[in-house]
A and B are shown apart, each in its own frame.
Chain A
Amino acid sequence: MILVERLIVHAGSFRLENISFQVPEGGYAVLMGKTGCGKTTLLEAIAGLKAISHGRIVLDGSDVTRLKPAERNVGLVPQDAALFTTMSVRDHLAFALMIRKVPRAVIRRRVAELAEMLEIGHLLDRYPAGLSGGETQRVALGRALSFRPATLLLDEPLSALDDQTRDQMMGLLKRVQAETKVTTLHVTHNRREASRLANLLLELVDGRVEMSRSGSPVDARPTPAERQETRSH
């Protein structure tokens, strides 16, 4: 569950005022809004990377407002993936577990499991410089999920991808979320992404979050037209 209550963030010239919303346990919320309206700032505030002026953030039942990013149990996939250039794909998937001093054998099993789920087994010894856009995003997703976080934050993860790769990634995101049941907040300005992935649609307008479509959760099942589209690829 993600619960944000009366959140106020001052970030340079603009501010987020009195933001409140809730994403239920295991839900997939898509947050829409124009470029520069503060979507990334909101994600950063939830992840603990941006200081907030006021408000409360509750993740997975515990108040994390005063906790450090490391203590929030949040997986973050930033817009440009921000992979670590000196690490192999395998190192990326193992990194969070290594920090937690998880035994090597367990890490090896987890890396294999993630590689299979994200279909990146053949990339494990490669470095970020040699990866395509879609591969990069899969690795970033794997890195964010490696330590089984309760919350997953995605910042326009598909914006840099071509249409075909984007469709594949949407399928993957859906499947991964169904498998892991991780509560997801996905930021985008792409309506198609939103309608295909979201079971809760949020919109950030003038520094406020509104539940769009009269606040009712969007049906997560693909529409017949969408199913047609998926098949055509």
Chain B
Amino acid sequence: MGAIGATYVLLILFMLLADAAYMVTGETRHTISPEWTQDHPVLAKVVNSPIVAAMAKQEIRYSIVLSLISCTMTALLSLVVAIPVGYLLSRHRFFGRNLLDAILDIPIVLPPLVVGLSLLILFRYFPAAIREAVVYEIPAVILAQFAVACAFAVRTMRATFDQIDARREQVALTLGCSRVQAFGLVVLPESMRGVLTAGTLAWARALGEFGPLLIFAGATRNKTEVLSTTVFLELSIGNLEAAVAVSLIMVAAAVFVLIVARLWGTRSLTL
């Protein structure tokens, strides 16, 4: 048992380690004169590193900015939906609850490509003006990320509310609260860690989203290119180093999110 577990843990760590090692040992492109490189070997390693080279490309800087903005928007939108829906599922018994529960699982189990294709087909039925403003444009990036990420946020929020004793809201009601006040003043403050977990989880999901984006938003440089698309585009033109460099940027972002979720989020709910 231990050996099986250890193998998996090593696999995860070595994967990341290999990326990092490739960055250091991979062939360096001398952007600066060879003499300078010889004089300052350590500095040269940094300056010539593929990450710096990647960051120097305007398209990649655009994709980093778009990724940060779209993931944050997706996380916020997901919370706006996940908090009320999670609360409804956790606290209320109503007709069709199981059906609603099952529907909310669809984005989790559906193959990502199918999500993208379904979005594309759905927008064929929209008026042309809306379709042109969304499909293959930035709104499509956010919508494609949101379609999947929100389902995870809903799960997390529901589990969060399940863990909060409903008795507290009941006491709040007897103390003079309306239902909205009981939720806003008692339940929501108690669920802040869950909200943070749900938000970071949605953010991380959005960052890794690729399939639906490719189909629904396209992969146009300086327009709908996000980090995962960048990896794909760089790979497709044979620029392995830039692809790995961008991957490492995503690893760093994911690790950061993991740390935030671990430190401030609810441990039992994290990722």
Contact = CB atoms under 8 A, between A and B. Distances in A.
Interface of A: 44, 47-49, 68-70, 72, 74-76, 78, 80, 82-87, 95-96, 99-100, 143-144, 146-147
A166 B254 CA distance: 51
A99 B185 CA distance: 10
A85 B193 CA distance: 12
A76 B177 contact: no
Given A82-B167, A84-B168, A74 B174 contact: yes
Nearest to A95: B175
B177 A82 contact: no
A99 B176 contact: yes
20 contacts: A47-B174, A48-B174, A69-B173, A69-B174, A70-B175, A70-B178, A72-B174, A76-B170, A76-B171, A78-B171, A80-B167, A84-B186, A84-B189, A85-B190, A86-B190, A87-B189, A96-B175, A99-B177, A146-B175, A147-B175
A132 B230 CA distance: 56
- 3 nearest interchain CB pairs? A69-B173, A96-B175, A82-B167
Contacts, number: 63
Contacts of A143: 171, 175
B58 interface: no
A99 B175 contact: yes
B168 A100 contact: no
B39 interface: no
Contacts of B178: 70
Contacts of A48: 173-174
B interface majority secondary structure? helix
Contacts of B174: 47-49, 69-70, 72, 74-76, 144
A146 B176 CA distance: 11
B186 A69 contact: no
Contact of B176 (A49, A83, A85, A100): A100
Contacts of A83: 168
Contacts of A78: 167, 170-171
B35 interface: no
Size category of the B interface is 10 to 19
A215 B254 CA distance: 69
Nearest to A149: B174
Contacts of A99: 175-177, 181, 185
Nearest to A69: B173
B171 A82 contact: yes
A80 B167 CA distance: 9
Contacts of A146: 175
B190 A49 contact: no
Nearest to B192: A86
Contacts of A47: 170, 174
A83 to B, nearest CB: 8
B176 A82 contact: no
Interface string B116-155: 0000000000000000000000000000000000000000
Contacts of B171: 76, 78, 82, 143
A141 to B, nearest CB: 12
A12 B71 CA distance: 44
Contacts of A85: 190
Given A84-B186, A84-B190, A85-B190, A96 B176 contact: yes
A49 B175 contact: no
B137 to A, nearest CB: 41
Interface string B164-200: 0101101111111110010001100110100000000
B196 to A, nearest CB: 14
Contacts of A68: 173
Nearest to A50: B170
**Which of A72, A78, A84, A87 has the most chain B CB within a 10 Å cutoff?**
A84
A85 to B, nearest CB: 6
Given A84-B186, A86-B190, A143-B175, 6 more contacts: A47-B174, A82-B171, A143-B171, A146-B175, A147-B175, A147-B176
B203 to A, nearest CB: 24
Contacts of B172: 84, 95
